[in-house]
Every structure is written in structure tokens, then in C-alpha cells.
Structure 1
């Protein structure tokens, strides 16, 4: 990134911090504000944000953000809570996520016939991950049933890991089509799935043991415990990349392994304020750069097919997958529709799209990049605009027809 860009991004973060509580009260995604400001300050506006000739700085920033988010999400996941809250959450994970990708791939194949099948699967996996934390107030509003908030939170936490695993397989198979007879794709799939899992698990387990031992012996403060988790996230990523696997898969697996060890060795849960703040800081900077360099250019290249696919992927595909997966769970229709509607797309979709463009040797990377831009911006606008009325409608439905 150019010399002025870090200063501009820092000032943006300070400015948002001053009004962050007011933004949360409006149920608006902070990422939307950073996208809009990025558009105003980027090369299509005031030229205060620059990313260099090949945008390496932007890619690195996005990778750091997703690494921390994946590790934090995995470290917070508690399978005991998933089992406790019953069938709805499990069905969202085991049926809803694969069904969303499958329906999304079919939709892409029909609307975008230029894409070969495995590239259509790549697109579906990229646009599938939800990030309900983009609208943090959604998870704190007690007008929403606790069962619904929990299901949204757990599903969002798992989505990046599931979608990443599917994407890497599809990316290897899509790349193979451009190099017939080359077995490199088979090694690519093996390394990104198996080696990444082993590397992440090893770092997470070792890190969990060390951090737990230090905490039990009162050698580590709460602040440094959180900084240690950030360090472990980056170590997972770096080792995964060093062995030519996937640093993102390693980070997610490392977070799961770390949580498994730490919960059994420490009586109290580790605080997460520092690590969560770091993740959000990196994410908002990414969205500022996304607004500056991707949004206007991406929309200028989008045609009606891409826009229609984005709308269907965001709403029709997700709602259908959620409604099907939650059949027989006892959730009221209003709650199921609410879960289906509110699946904001965020940093996961952005970085998975970058992954395809940077690492995938596929034919239509430019089309996939345009789809990412259209999908994420539509999601930020429409989900931010409909959260408040959606919550009011759900609350009124609960009053008129109490859930069992």
C-alpha cells in the first residue's frame, strides 16, 4: 500500500470508533460505511487510498483479517452448546450448508452458462458463507428468540470452514480442466485439505497446552492470553502456507484444536475482547479498500445475469435451503424465514474470491471476481436496511402466535 493509505485507514477507524455505538443502534453493518467511505476516498474519488500497482497490500490485509476471524470463530465454537440447543442448529450445519452450495452451483450453472461445472461450484462456495457478526446488534436483541440467535451465530461460525473446504476441492478440479493430464490438482486438493488439517491441529493443540499451563500457573495476564491466540492464528496460517497447503484451513482447524484443549484445562473461558477487536479492525480496513478498488469497477462489468444470480444466491437459494433443512425442528415459520433472510455476506466471501483469483488457475476468474463484488455490496445494503423491520415483524409474530 502507498504511504498515505495507512494514515487514512487509521483515521477512518478512529472516526468510526467515535460513533460506533450509534451505528450499532441503527442495525447497520459497519462494513457498509467503510465501503462507502472507501469509494469516496479511492482512485474513483479523492485518490487518498492507494494499493500499489498489483494490490499486494490489499491481499495481505484481507488474508490477515480472515486468518484471525477463522481462528476466533473456531475457538469460540462449543459443540456441547450445539448439542444442547438441539436439532435446529445441527440441521443447519449438516443439511443447510451443503444444500446451499448445491443449489447455488445449480443456479450459477443455469444463469451463467459460460462457467464450467466446477467453476460454478467455486462460485457457490464463495458466496455461501454468512457473517451475522457484521450486524452485531442482531445477536444482542432479545426480541429475537435465543434459539434463533444461537442458530445464526453457530452457523456463521462454521460456514467459512465448510465453504473453504468445498472451495478448495472445487478449485483443484476446476484448475485441472485448464491443464488436462496434469496431476498437480490432485496434490493441491490433498495438501489443502489433509496437510492443512494436520498442521493446524498440531499448532492448535500445542498452543492450547502451553497457554493453559501458563494460565493455570498464573504466569499470563488476560490481555496477553488474547494476544497469544492472535499469534497462534498467524502461526497456523504461516505454517500452512509454508508447506504449500492452505493457511486458512490450518487457522480454522487450529482454532478448533485450541478450544478443545483450553476448555478442558482452564476453568474459566479466555476473554476475547482484544482478539475480537483486532479481527474487526482488520476486517473494516479490508472493506474500506474493497470499496475503494473493487466496487465501482466490479459493478461496471456486471450484467443482468450476474446481478440476478447474486440476488437469488443471497435470498432465494438461502431461504430454500434453510426452510428445507429446518423441516421438523419445531421452529415457527416466522423464525425459519428470519434465519433464511438474514445471512449477510462479508469478509469470507471477499477473501475466498481473492483466493480463486490469486491461486486458482481457472478460466473465468474475472467473472467470479465480479460476482463477489455484486453479491457482497448487495448483501451489505439490503441486509442493513431490513434488519430493524425484520426484527419487529418477528417480534410481532411471536406475540400473536407464541412459539412452543
Structure 2
């Protein structure tokens, strides 16, 4: 069986490497290909994966994929925080997130779930995904398109802002302390954990970035090995935030964002992609230590490495989702709830929370449609499963989440390329 896995993964990766340009022209996403491949392996009996049996492994794999993707999302956003464009992702990540949880909670109650499980289900399915949404995210560091910027910022933030609702759901189920009148949940899980995660990530990202650039500019040291820098900063921000009971997801996103802001202040109007073009032309060592280009070179190198890791995580997780679907099967409740989420809850929450933002009707409609669900929902599901959820209830929620991720991968996978091509032409 191990030999078969090596063959399958090898063939799939080579196929994706050779067909990347073709997939960009077709109404297909890479995540959809991985999902179908995993489902085919499961249906043929070549692989099986029981979610409740392997929940600890699945939690760690999905956790790693999410934090890498969140760091990359932060690195893609170059606009200063005072820019008005940030109003849209903030409204989506906080306001639309809370409204989505509330509406999905009502849906869960209608399906007969207890209150705690209904809140937990809403929290698990509410965040949009930074891993599978690459087709609709910003395309380069100077991309300021409101649609792509809003979707990227929302996906980077709401994987962390969903955590308070996850803890609330676990608390209502008796698996987390909420305190009298929920005072502990408000003070610790909402106020401190959110604020602390953002401040820790922002501080560490800026400090590490300035240190590396100083060493390169002044002492011509710390050149190269930007992949170690990326992994080190991700681990540092995530570890410190968890150590002080803050949200690590927000910390790694803020670390990437802070590193990018440090680069933007240093580079000014110069596009980081131009700096990397200079490096490719044979001047990499000179560009890496030059005062005017050192920060841009470092940031782009870190982004390139994390994007490669992000793609590897996408391969692993979507293969696993396909295999899990073949193992546990579909449930009509999950399909119905996903339709409610994609065609009802998401459009309503986006319509209400984007009023007054100045975006066009076309942009609002596409934001409403591209509420992609994926790896973040998987992590929250397995986090809940490993923190005391009853197996029967856990199995039911697993079917809901797997159905949502699979249906989102199919619908958004076939629509992303034609819709974004149409949008670019109209713009």
C-alpha cells in the first residue's frame, strides 16, 4: 500500500506541474483535481481514512496548512492599515463572520442539534478559506483591486476571528470553561486572545524583519536561507501566542502583514517583483544586501517559499478530504446545510455588511459567491473532536463539514476561472 501511495502522489504532482498553465485556462482548480483523485482512491479501495480514528493527525496536518497559508496571506497585503480599503475585509471578517455564525446556528437548531453543537457548527463553517481561494486573491504585492483585496483580507482574518465562537460552542457543550455569565469567555477568549494574537504577530514580524534587513545592509550577513526565516517567524509568532493563550492564527497573519509593511515603508513606490527580477538576472547577492532592495528581496523570497508550502498542504488535505468522503459517505443534511450557507447565509451577510463600503454591485455579488470553505473548517472540526466532543455528535458534524468543503471545492473550482476572467475584462 505504501508503494501505491508513492506512485499516486508522484503521478499527481508531476501532472499538476506539467498542466498548471492548462488548468488556468480551464474551469478547474487544483484543489478540485486533488479532491477527485482522493475520492477515486477511496472508492477503489486503495485508501481509507476514518476521521474520528485519525482526528489527532488530521488536526495537526490541517493546523500546519492553515498557519502557513495565513502567513502568506498577510505577506500579500501591502496597503497601509490606515487605507480605507481595509474597511471591507474588516467588516467581512468580524461582522459577516458573526452574522454567519448566528444564521448557521439557527440552521443547526432546525436540524435538531443541541445549542452548543449548533454554535460550534456555525463557527466551523463560517470562516472562508485562505488555502483554496488562491484563484480569487491578490495576484501581486501592488494589487489593490477591492474584490481581491477584500477576499484575501477576509480569509486571513476570519480564520482567527472564528475561534471565539468555537470556544463558545465547546463551552456550551461542557468542554470549555466560560465563567459566570460568560465573563471568562468575553475577557479571555474574545478580548485578550484576539487582541493579543494581533499585537504579538505584528510586533514579532516587524522586529524580525528589521533585524534581518539590518544585518544584511550593514554587516552583509544573514543572507540566504529565507525558507528558514519564514518557518522560524511562523513558529515563533504561533508558539508565543499560544503560550500566552492568544490566537495563533491571528498572530501568524499579523506577522506576515507586519513584515510586508516593513518592506513597503522601505521600498516606497518600487514594486518588490521588480527587485526579484533583478535578482533573477544574476544580481541576487547584490540585491539581497543593498539598502534600497534588501527588504523587498527578503519579503518576496519568504513569500515564494511559503506559497510553495501552501500548495503542498493543499495537495495533502484535499486528497485526505476526498478519501474521507469515500469512507464516511454523503449525508443529505450536509448538502442541504451547505446550500443554505452558499446560497442564503453568505449572500445575506455580505449584502448587509458591505453597505456603505463603496464597492460596485458586481464586486459585491462576487464577494458573496466566493465564500470558499476549506482547510480552516477542517481544522476547527478536528480541534473540536480532540477536545471532548461526543463521538456520535462528532460524526454528524464531520459529515456536515466534509460535504461543505467538497461542494465548495466543486462549485467554486469550476466557477473561479471564468468569473474572475469576466471580472478582469469588465474592469
Q: Using structure 1 for the length normalisation, give the TM-score.
A: 0.80
| Secondary structure at 1:348 match in 2 | helix
Are residue 306 (structure 1) and residue 334 (structure 2) matched?
A: yes
Within 5 Å, give how 1:5-404 maps onto structure 2. 5=5, 8-42=8-42, 44-47=43-46, 54-55=53-54, 56-77=56-77, 80=80, 83-85=83-85, 87-110=87-110, 112-113=111-112, 115-131=113-129, 134-139=132-137, 146-176=145-175, 190=188, 194=192, 198=196, 202=200, 205-206=203-204, 208-218=206-216, 219-221=221-223, 224-238=225-239, 243=243, 245=245, 249-257=247-255, 259-260=257-258, 263-264=261-262, 267=266, 268-269=295-296, 270-271=299-300, 272-292=303-323, 294-300=324-330, 302-303=331-332, 305-362=333-390, 364-391=393-420
Q: Tell me, yes or no, if the aligned pair for 1:65 and 1:279 is still in contact at 8 Å.
A: yes
| Secondary structure at 1:329 match in 2 | coil
**Counterpart for residue 402 of structure 1:** none
Shift of 1:24: 2.3
Q: Tell me, yes or no, if the aligned pair for 2:373 and 2:405 is still in contact at 8 Å.
A: yes
Distance 1:190 1:106 in 2: 26
| Secondary structure at 2:80 match in 1 | helix
Shift of 1:103: 1.6
Q: Tell me, yes or no, if the aligned pair for 2:49 and 2:327 is still in contact at 8 Å.
A: no
Shift of 1:34: 0.6
Distance 2:15 2:304 in 1: 20
**Counterpart for residue 285 of structure 2:** none
Distance 1:371 1:81 in 2: 36
Shift of 1:281: 0.8
Q: Using structure 2 for the length normalisation, give the TM-score.
A: 0.76
Most deviating of 283-292 and 204-213: 204-213
Deviations 1:106-127 (A, max 9, x none): 22222x12x1222211111111
Gaps of 5+ in 2: 267-294
Distance 1:260 1:73 in 2: 12
Distance 2:357 2:394 in 1: 39
Q: Tell me, yes or no, if the aligned pair for 2:238 and 2:249 is still in contact at 8 Å.
A: yes
| Secondary structure at 2:398 match in 1 | helix
Distance 1:158 1:358 in 2: 24
Distance 1:192 1:335 in 2: 31
Gaps of 5+ in 1: 400-404
Aligned CA-pair RMSD: 3.9
Q: Tell me, yes or no, if the aligned pair for 1:172 and 1:188 is still in contact at 8 Å.
A: no
- Aligned CA distance change for structure 1 residues 180 and 3 (closer, same or farther; 3 Å): farther
- Aligned CA distance change for structure 1 residues 346 and 180 (closer, same or farther; 3 Å): closer
Distance 2:44 2:364 in 1: 42
